[in-house]
Chains A and B, each alone.
Chain A
Amino acid sequence: MSNNSAVVQGEDHYLNHSRGLMSWLGTLDHKRIGLMYLFSVLLFFLMGGVFALLIRLELFKWGGHNLVDANTYNKFFTYHGAIMVFLVVIPAIPAALGNFILPIMLGAKDVAFPRLNLASYYIFMTGALFAVLALFLRGADTGWTFYTPYSIRTNTTVLLVLFGAFIAGFSSILTGLNFIVTIHKLRAPGLTWMRLPLFCWALYATSIIQVLATPVLAITLVLLCMERILQIGIFDPKLGGDPILFQHFFWFYSHPAVYIMILPAMGIISEIIPVFSRKPIFGYKAIAYSSFGIALIAFIVWGHHMFVSGQSELANFVFSLLTMFVAVPTGVKVFSWVGTMYRGSIHFNAPMLYAFGFLELFTMGGLTGVFLATLAIDVHLTNTYFVVAHFHYVMVGGTLMGLLAGLHYWFPKMFGRMYSETAAKIGFWLIVIGFNVTFFPQFILGAQGMPRRYWSYLPEFTFLNRISTLGSGLIGVGFIYTAYYFYRGMRSGAKADANPWNAQTLEWKTSSPPPHENFHETPVVTQWPYEYLPEDTSMPANLR
């Protein structure tokens, strides 16, 4: 119905193309599926966030019993971790933003397998349902890592959480598969590999990890479920099994999973920095290939989670060395971004602010990762709050900053309206300051020896814990405020035109919001998407 473009343009778009609840629940449109993922992920983010605040509230005063007893506290951090990892940061960027943007960036009408895409969404929600169901029964208290043998013996409903994570994993596998085929087969005419936007490269590398690593998690979780159902004993020392094998299997997935979280965020940053610096991206190939470098190294460093688990000294040495290599392709990216900004004309709009936030927080997370890769330091810091702070700087600082950068950047494309730029700046500072106030003290606490996952602590840690809790409140306020101005923008923001940032990737060449089939005519690509001229500072006046 969208063939007569002159009249239809600006009127018929994917949001009003068809109406009613069923037109959403049964949609094959990647844009709608992306939005369904987005709102589901945000719902889970709220849940995971509430558990985080409960954890921080319990730790506000020393001595325990502030809010809950120790067993309930164990459930809180298990839920916070499991929900945030499996239901938020892993699907957030690929499944939500990737689904929405990737096909449009490629100039395609949809992903390669739209039915499979919708199925992935329902698989994800089914997995989530099982995991959340456990909440209302006896919960789970193993931490999100499900270490054996405790996870075999605990009398909580960990089985449901395992099963939920197992099911949700298939959604991740199928999304990755869908994206790989989409990138291979559905690029618009003229969109050669070397003209591919860097977000697409990043999603490609991410998809490879999703496809190769997640099946190993699947079989691991199946075996762990079977431990609980049939006592197969493979991970159970009592029956001759090996609990360390579980750790190897688990981290063989869960280390690469960190890059499922971070690579797409890096892709978003690579899109935003040239647009808001009005300069061609520096080191295009280096950024594209370093994603694959990271993906490759991701598979050979898992042992750094097991330095004190009884691994051989030689294995520890090798894993420590290999882990440090991750810093090389990561550094290549960071320097390329800085090189792009150098002598650019930088516009401090919300997406760019979040890109700066990413650079600050992720660099700290990454560098403390190199600390922890060093054997002698790691033995001292294992299971302390230093580790907690490190991976929050990586996952929140990396993935969440990337997600927020992307959400602000593509918001006008998704909804055809603008959010308030002033509000976005306030929200940014609330979140970034809140984040640093929450997690920086945890580096110090960890270095002083405060162990993680405890319900209480020694009185001398009180002061920094209080600051940390106050910071978490600030983050909470920041997110509520962000949700508020996004909602207002969706309802009554100024109308956005097709290309509010004057950017060059294909999604900006179609109307905002895009029509049902993304483009009225299949676009033909003639150049790479980073052809910004140094003297061209043509950002629309109201956005400067």
Chain B
Amino acid sequence: MLQEETVIHHHAHHFTSANHEFEAAKQGMWIFLVTEVLMFGGLFVAYGLFRGLYPEMFHEAHQHLAVHMGALNTVVLITSSLTMALSVSSAQKGHKVSSVRYLVLTLILACCFLGVKYFEYSHKFHDGLLPGGFFTNTEIKSPKASLFFSLYFMMTGLHGIHVLIGMGVISWILRRTLRGEFGPSYYTPIELVGLYWHFVDLVWIYLFPLLYLVG
């Protein structure tokens, strides 16, 4: 029976039990996410500094971002966080088929996100709304508007790379799920990937208002 496979996972020699190993892995993941917060933190500080220095420019420049696309992507990512969470809980209960189904759904939503991002980026390229020295747009009247787009591309770009990495690790746990490696007694990797994916989602929830909804 597919749904009730028993999974025997042998913990590594330096742990006393599988649960011990799970707790350690989870703590490691949380610490890793803290380092991610600090890495994005640098960009948020730069954003705050330049928004304080050039408030009018930020306001004018942000009108050239497509709010509806950003909003759509927000919905897409939040939904993907939900499907990811459902996949983790299915794996914990040993429901392999639904876990696989939700993982595939998460992957599809991630692709949608990148697809929308692709259209947004190509539109910016077309309008000459590019970082720093490559900025050629003439519609925006405020000086230094290239800075806004530098920040836009750096922040969404770094986030996009995280989405790509997320898709990579989701594919990896999908493969392992298909092989029947996870079950109620062992689901550490899928749980950790879930944490990571929620973090990627959370970053976007900050990026969207900061970049698209400048008051």
Q: A residues touching B (Cβ–Cβ < 8 Å)?
A: 103, 108-114, 116, 173, 177-178, 180-181, 184-186, 211-216, 218-220, 222-223, 226-227, 230-234, 236, 239-242, 245, 249, 517
Contact = CB atoms under 8 A, between A and B. Distances in A.
Contacts of A215: 35-36, 38-39, 41-42
A113 B28 contact: yes
A90 to B, nearest CB: 16
B133 A231 contact: yes
B23 A232 contact: no
Contacts of A230: 131-134, 150, 153
Interface string B196-214: 0000000000000000000
A203 B12 CA distance: 24
A170 to B, nearest CB: 9
18 contacts: A109-B14, A111-B14, A113-B24, A116-B28, A177-B28, A177-B35, A184-B27, A185-B20, A185-B27, A212-B35, A218-B39, A220-B42, A226-B131, A227-B132, A233-B147, A239-B133, A239-B144, A242-B50
Nearest to B20: A185
B40 to A, nearest CB: 8
Given A215-B41, A219-B42, A249-B45, 19 more contacts: A110-B12, A112-B24, A178-B28, A180-B31, A181-B24, A185-B27, A186-B24, A211-B31, A211-B34, A212-B34, A215-B35, A216-B41, A219-B158, A220-B42, A226-B131, A230-B134, A239-B147, A242-B50, A245-B46
Interface string B111-145: 00000000000000000000111100000000110
Name the residue in A110, A216, A240, A249 with the highest tally of chain B Cβ atoms < 10 Å from its Cβ. A240
A219 B39 contact: yes
B49 A231 contact: no
B151 interface: yes
Contacts of B24: 112-113, 181, 184-186
B99 interface: no
Given A185-B23, A223-B154, A233-B133, A110 B28 contact: no
Nearest to B130: A230
A6 B184 CA distance: 41
Nearest to A242: B49
A240 B54 contact: yes
Given A236-B132, A240-B147, A114 B38 contact: no
A232 B49 contact: no
B172 interface: no
B19 to A, nearest CB: 11
Nearest to A210: B35
B150 A232 contact: yes
Give chain B's interface secondary structure class.
helix
Nearest to B57: A240
Interface string B8-51: 00001111000010011101100110111011111101100110
Contacts of B154: 223, 226, 232, 234
A108 B14 CA distance: 7
Given A110-B14, A177-B32, A233-B147, A223 B27 contact: no
B113 to A, nearest CB: 22
B28 A223 contact: no
Contacts of B132: 227, 230-234, 236, 239
B49 to A, nearest CB: 6
Contacts of B12: 110, 114
Interface string B137-176: 0000001101100110110001000000000000000000
Contacts of A180: 27, 31
A108 B12 CA distance: 12
A104 B160 CA distance: 41
Given A185-B23, A230-B131, A234-B151, A211 B144 contact: no
B168 to A, nearest CB: 16
A302 to B, nearest CB: 13
Contacts of A178: 28
A233 B146 contact: yes
Contacts of A236: 132
A510 to B, nearest CB: 15
Contacts of B28: 112-113, 116, 177-178, 181
B31 A241 contact: no
B124 to A, nearest CB: 13
Given A216-B42, A240-B144, A233 B14 contact: no
9 closest cross-chain pairs (CB), A and B: A231-B133, A240-B144, A233-B132, A219-B42, A232-B150, A109-B14, A215-B39, A215-B38, A231-B132
A111 B144 CA distance: 50
Contact of A177 (B31, B143, B158): B31
B143 to A, nearest CB: 7
B74 to A, nearest CB: 23
Contacts of A184: 24, 27
A311 to B, nearest CB: 14
B13 A109 contact: yes
A215 B13 CA distance: 31
Contacts of A234: 46, 50, 132, 147, 150-151, 154
